[in-house]
Amino acid sequence: MAAPESEACVTTTMEKCDVVILGAGPYGLAAATHLKNVPGLALRIFGEPMSFWERNMPLGMFLRSNWTATQIADPHLALTLEAYGQQSGSTVSQPVPLDRFVQYGHWYQQKGVPDLERRAIRRVEHDSNGFRITLSDGELLGSRRVVVAAGIGSFAWRPPEFDDLPAELASHTSEHRDLGKFTGKKVLVVGGGQSALESAALLHEGGAAAEVIARTHKIHWLQGSLSRTLHHGLGESVRSILYAPTDVGPAGISRLMARPDWLRRLPRSLQDKLRKRAVRPAGARWLVDRLKSVPVRLGCSVTSVATSGPRVTVRLSDGSERTVDHVLLGTGYRVNVAKYDFLSAELGQSIRRSGGYPCLEQGLETSVRGLHILGAPAAWSFGPLMQFVSGARYAAQALTRHVVANK
């Protein structure tokens, strides 16, 4: 069927490039600095730099990942946290505070990707030459490849029990930048991972009456005494045998997680087991003292919720109930790439998936040739390293190798 006249006209005037990157968080930025080294490659990158970190994480947060795992990868090893600290005239403390990491990300972008375009991509569609991209201002662009590095913001998981509650009564942790708005309020925090626990600490410190409830029977604290001994007590050489600088997973497993190409060769059931073990919900050790005065109820879940006037009453599986001003859902994220609203329905459905994750091949390419997905959605195919900043080096290098080999 012939294209409508207006479309044919637009197509002939549409600017073309080789690669478009969608997203300017750690993965998109790292992909850009690596691809810029490919001679003659026409590359464009779109997005608000570090926007998820800046808008969807709480003020006062610290990064859980360690120093080496908090570097945004660049091919020349020049855009490091150390270099940023030196150039900004103040060293970055550890654990790394959120606001310093955001500033570091902006510095990285200005140094390494100054041509970033701060426009959103509204639509990505497949066409006979590759992809047709519509920008937020209506501009059209053609590209042979598209690299999606859009993060997990679209996948915030809200348990269905809370579906009917308005945002004033129940919200996901990712909806807040400033938890100070809950000062003087009673807040029930649901979840037993870092995000729930750190939010509870910040709420408590900000003058809210916080309580945590979690299904888990035990909170896993990172860097327990065994882990501390293996990390620090037996010397650098033992530590480096057991833990990779990417710092994902416990002793030994950490080394395997740092090698996605090896992990991919293992049977699927073993990959799934290792992935679960490597990133189970856990809290950073430095939260223990901060949560001393916060009640934590473990081994129970929410059975029902109901509004009671301006408040909400939550029934728990142990038979008790709480009436609070707000429920904060630290219930994490569930990847489902069909929820990326910038992918056309046809494109979203063409991607071969497993439980919402795209099944990726070499170069983090989806089953749609030329469409790549980086970051957390790549975890089913390349392991849990992809859920963390430290996985951006592997992703950017693998992508670049693939682009060069298929130019």
Ligand X SMILES: Cc1cc2nc3c(=O)[nH]c(=O)nc-3n(C[C@H](O)[C@H](O)[C@H](O)COP(=O)(O)OP(=O)(O)OC[C@H]3O[C@@H](n4cnc5c(N)ncnc54)[C@H](O)[C@@H]3O)c2cc1C
Q: Is 61 in contact with 330 (CB distance < 8 Å)?
A: no
Minimum CB separation of residue 148 from ligand X in Å reads 9
Minimum CB separation of residue 147 from ligand X in Å reads 11
| CB of 28 or CB of 112, closer to ligand X | 28
Q: Is 314 in contact with 305 (CB distance < 8 Å)?
A: yes
Minimum CB separation of residue 307 from ligand X in Å reads 28
The Cα–Cα gap between 271 and 383 comes to 8
Interacting residues with ligand X (CB under 6 A): 22-28, 46-48, 51-53, 57, 63-65, 120-121, 149-153, 195, 342, 375, 388-390
Minimum CB separation of residue 315 from ligand X in Å reads 28
Minimum CB separation of residue 46 from ligand X in Å reads 5
Q: How far is CA 147 from the centre of its chain?
A: 16
Minimum CB separation of residue 343 from ligand X in Å reads 9
Q: What is the DSSP letter of 97?
A: B
The Cα–Cα gap between 400 and 386 comes to 16
| CB of 63 or CB of 327, closer to ligand X | 63
| CB of 43 or CB of 150, closer to ligand X | 150
In terms of Cα–Cα distance, which of 147, 151, 152 is closest to 45?
A: 147
| CB of 102 or CB of 312, closer to ligand X | 102
- In the three-class reduction of DSSP (H, G, I as helix; E, B as strand; rest coil), residue 326 is classed as strand
| CB of 55 or CB of 239, closer to ligand X | 55
Measure Cα distances from 36 to 27, 40, 41 in Å: 14, 9, 7
| CB of 246 or CB of 271, closer to ligand X | 246
The Cα–Cα gap between 151 and 145 comes to 18
The Cα–Cα gap between 352 and 265 comes to 19
The Cα–Cα gap between 126 and 255 comes to 38
Minimum CB separation of residue 351 from ligand X in Å reads 16
Count the neighbouring beta carbons within 10 Å of the beta carbon of residue 185.
16
Handedness of CA 210, 216, 221, 224 (dihedral sign): positive
Minimum CB separation of residue 102 from ligand X in Å reads 10
Helix residue ranges, H only, 14-134: 26-35, 51-55, 81-88, 98-112
Letter for the amino acid at 328?
L
For the chain, the 3-state helix, strand and coil shares in percent, each to the nearest 5, are 40, 20, 40
| DSSP states along 57-76 | S-TT-B-SS-SGGGPPP-TT
Q: Hey, what are 149's tokens?
A: 């590095």
Burial of 115 (0-12, 13-18, 19+ CB in 10 A): exposed
| CB of 152 or CB of 278, closer to ligand X | 152
Minimum CB separation of residue 374 from ligand X in Å reads 6
Count the neighbouring beta carbons within 10 Å of the beta carbon of residue 341.
12
Minimum CB separation of residue 53 from ligand X in Å reads 6
| CB of 150 or CB of 230, closer to ligand X | 150
| CB of 83 or CB of 98, closer to ligand X | 98
| CB of 57 or CB of 113, closer to ligand X | 57
Helix 26-35 to helix 98-112 angle, to the nearest 10 degrees?
20
Minimum CB separation of residue 47 from ligand X in Å reads 3
| CB of 131 or CB of 312, closer to ligand X | 131
